[in-house]
Amino acid sequence: MRVGVPKEIKNNESRVGMTPAGVFELVKNNHTVYVQSGAGDGSGFLNADYQQAGAIVLDTIGQVYAMSDMIVKVKEPIKEEYNLIQKGQVVFTYFHFASSEMLTEAMIDRKGVCIAYETVEDEDGTLPLLTPMSEVAGRMAIQQGAKYLEKPEKGRGVLLGGVPGVAPGRVLVLGAGVVGIQAAKMAAGLGAHVTILDVNMKRLRYVNDVMPSHVVTEFSNEFNIRKHIKDHDLIIGGVLLRGAKAPNLITKDMLKDMRPGTVIVDVAVDQGGCVETTRPTTHENPIFIIDDVVHYCVANMPGAVPYTSTVALTNVTLPYVLKLANLGWEEACRQDFSLQKGLNIVEGKVIYREIIEAFNWQALTV
């Protein structure tokens, strides 16, 4: 198969869909890989690295799309890319169709085969191609939180680890999922006191088993949240209700109960956030302050660490890319339940129920 890796052209996106290690594996399996010149620059992979791994570097994005049977990228295609997609061409990337009718209509129109990273699903219901980005964001949340707790950044002026003779900072983590556990682990590693809340007792039991004793689990309810926000320095929002807006566990009135300079990192901002006052921010302008509480609500946190994010993402996408290339998309999806769940639009037909429901498109049901 001819596999194409274009440069991401969405604003502020420095990740790339394949590393030289991925190229090497595909070439070893007798496939041809076309990489757009400069595609890996933002993640620290140069044209020469790709060439050494066996890729053919092409000058333009148009050439990459025109020469390839399958496109492997990171973000959903933007307007400029719509017309590059050809009938029957496989596009394997994050799409998030339900949030854009325009994108969905464009992909129906182009008649490509759209396989979405975010809906590839394991038998146990977990989403293997979303997990690494949550891992990155969870770990980064503590790094960012620690920074904004510093006084010049408008925080309380607390060092998370404390020092001998001074108590460590206190971190409250809402949600003991992927984001929450990675955040708790980082905070605990710095020596902070950590309280982690969830409504799922299985998650809390797991955290209790694997974390050191300065990570304390509690059941998530309004009473406990109101109690803890008063004396925690850093609050991490890592709650997810699958397919729904995150619940507002911290309402605007609660901000007044927090000490001035408390920092909230609401990682769940991409699902609306679990704090009522959350609104999406960018890496250029990551924070805002309400009632003396610092809010960090960057919707694409992994974008700030493209090297780590690219390698983490491609580690998990590569086995699927190889399967698609070796077997062709139809046979690969027949053999692999997880990949089958990733099929969203096939040659003009929407086959992922949630998209049809999101836009009330009963007529397109197949």
53 vs 172 by CB, closer to ligand NAD: 172
Q: From the list 12, 52, 60, 200, which residue makes contact with ligand NAD (rule: CB under 6 A)? A: 200
The residue number whose beta carbon is nearest to ligand NAD equals 177
Q: Which residue stretch of 25-33, 61-69, 228-236, 265-273 sits at the interface with ligand NAD (rule: CB under 6 A)?
A: 265-273
Whether 96 is catalytic: yes
8 binds ligand NAD (CB under 6 A): no
Yes or no: say if 302 and 133 are a contact pair by the CB < 8 Å rule: yes
Give CA 5 to chain center in angstroms: 20
Yes or no: say if 234 and 160 are a contact pair by the CB < 8 Å rule: yes
94 vs 361 by CB, closer to ligand NAD: 94
What is the residue type of 185?
K
Nearest to 172 by CA among 273, 302, 265: 265
145 binds ligand NAD (CB under 6 A): no
118 binds ligand NAD (CB under 6 A): no
Yes or no: say if 180 and 174 are a contact pair by the CB < 8 Å rule: yes
Catalytic residue among 69, 198, 266, 270: 270
Distant-in-sequence, close-in-space partners of 205: CB < 8 Å, separation ≥ 6: none
Beta strands in the chain (DSSP E): 2-5, 32-36, 56-58, 70-72, 90-93, 113-116, 170-174, 193-198, 215-219, 234-237, 263-266, 287-290, 293-296, 343-346, 349-350
Catalytic residue among 49, 96, 228, 336: 96
27 vs 199 by CB, closer to ligand NAD: 199
* Residues 149-188, interacting with ligand NAD (CB under 6 A): 174-180
For the chain, state the CA radius of gyration: 22
Q: From the list 40, 132, 155, 238, which residue makes contact with ligand NAD (rule: CB under 6 A)? A: 238
271 binds ligand NAD (CB under 6 A): yes
Positions marked catalytic: 96, 270
Residues that bind ligand NAD (CB under 6 A): 133-134, 137, 174-180, 197-200, 203, 220, 238-241, 246-247, 249, 267-271, 298-302
